[in-house]
Amino acid sequence: MGIKYRRVLLKLSGEALMGQLGYGVDPNVVQEISTEVAEVVGDGVQMAIVVGGGNIFRGLKAAAGGMDRATGDYIGMIATVMNALTLQDALERMGIPTRVQTAIAMQEVAEPYIRRRAIRHLEKGRVVIFGAGSGNPFFTTDTTAALRAAEIDAEVIFKATKVDGIYDADPHQNPNARRYESLTYGHVLAHDLRVMDSTAIALCKENNIPIMVFDLTERGNICRAVKGEPVGTIVGGFCEVR
């Protein structure tokens, strides 16, 4: 099938699940994402997912309004579990066995995060969705994605966004913004390109995990990404800036 990556971690923002809605989850978007995930899993790709919760609650924004930062982050972690369970339901309705593992104990609805169990699920062809972030406040779900990717020995992180890669300026505000084909970790950090937060980039650099940034809204991009096709921008240790 021309598959390049056999074990991948897909990072989804909560906003990606929102679609064109102002809040919550768009069932059509969840269905489209689940359909693509089901296709690549059917081809033998081992898929883990980290999902954010910004479509429901953003701890940083709440903290800016006066809420205790740690409390806001914990509420945001619970929001990610809601999204994880939504994705699990959509995938299992397609016949894809799925497990949700959370960094905060919620044994009635999900398994606790256990690294070796997560890897075993992947080996058995199950999709594993990591909820509740890292279980600690002050850490983003981007950092969680880098951490879990390192723990499960993922070959790549797919950072699925609403833009088709990394630009040297905001393409929505600057029509002359240039899209990069590839970047080094150092360039991303030095120029503060905000692909992921700096802690996540540093973790990926330390563990030599490439990051592929691409447009989630274009049908088939996940399938093309697992084949190594140039669907966006790749960040890695041996990439040239171009």
The amino acid present at 57, given as its one-letter code, is F
Q: How confident is the model at residue 240 (pLDDT cuts 50, 70, 90)?
A: low
144 is known to lie in a ligand binding site: no
Determine the pLDDT at residue 21: 86
140 is known to lie in a ligand binding site: yes
**Mind listing the pLDDT tens digit for each residue in 149-187?**
999 999 999 999 888 899 988 888 888 888 899 999 999
On whether the CB atoms of residues 48 and 122 are closer than 8 A, the answer is yes
194 is known to lie in a ligand binding site: no
162 is known to lie in a ligand binding site: no
Torsion of CA 197, 219, 43, 124, to 10 degrees: 50
Q: How confident is the model at residue 191 (pLDDT cuts 50, 70, 90)?
A: confident
Does 215 or 61 have the greater pLDDT score? 215
174 is known to lie in a ligand binding site: no
66 is known to lie in a ligand binding site: no
Indicate if the pLDDT at residue 237 is higher than 80. no
Nearest Cα to Cα of residue 159 among 170, 168, 149, 150: 149
Please give the average per-residue pLDDT across 38-60, as a whole number.
Answer: 92
53 is known to lie in a ligand binding site: yes
14 is known to lie in a ligand binding site: yes
165 is known to lie in a ligand binding site: no
Q: How confident is the model at residue 144 (pLDDT cuts 50, 70, 90)?
A: very high
61 is known to lie in a ligand binding site: no
In the chain, % of residues over pLDDT 90:
72
* Distance (Å, whole) CA 186 – CA 94: 41
* Distance (Å, whole) CA 146 – CA 142: 6
26 is known to lie in a ligand binding site: no
180 is known to lie in a ligand binding site: no
175 is known to lie in a ligand binding site: no
Set out the domains of the chain in order of their start, with CATH numbers. 7-236 (3.40.1160.10)
Please give the average per-residue pLDDT across 141-154, as a whole number.
Answer: 97
Contacts (Cβ under 8 Å, ≥6 apart) of 64: none
On whether the CB atoms of residues 77 and 53 are closer than 8 A, the answer is yes
- Which range has the worst mean pLDDT, 3-12, 55-64, 106-115, 212-221? 55-64
170 is known to lie in a ligand binding site: yes
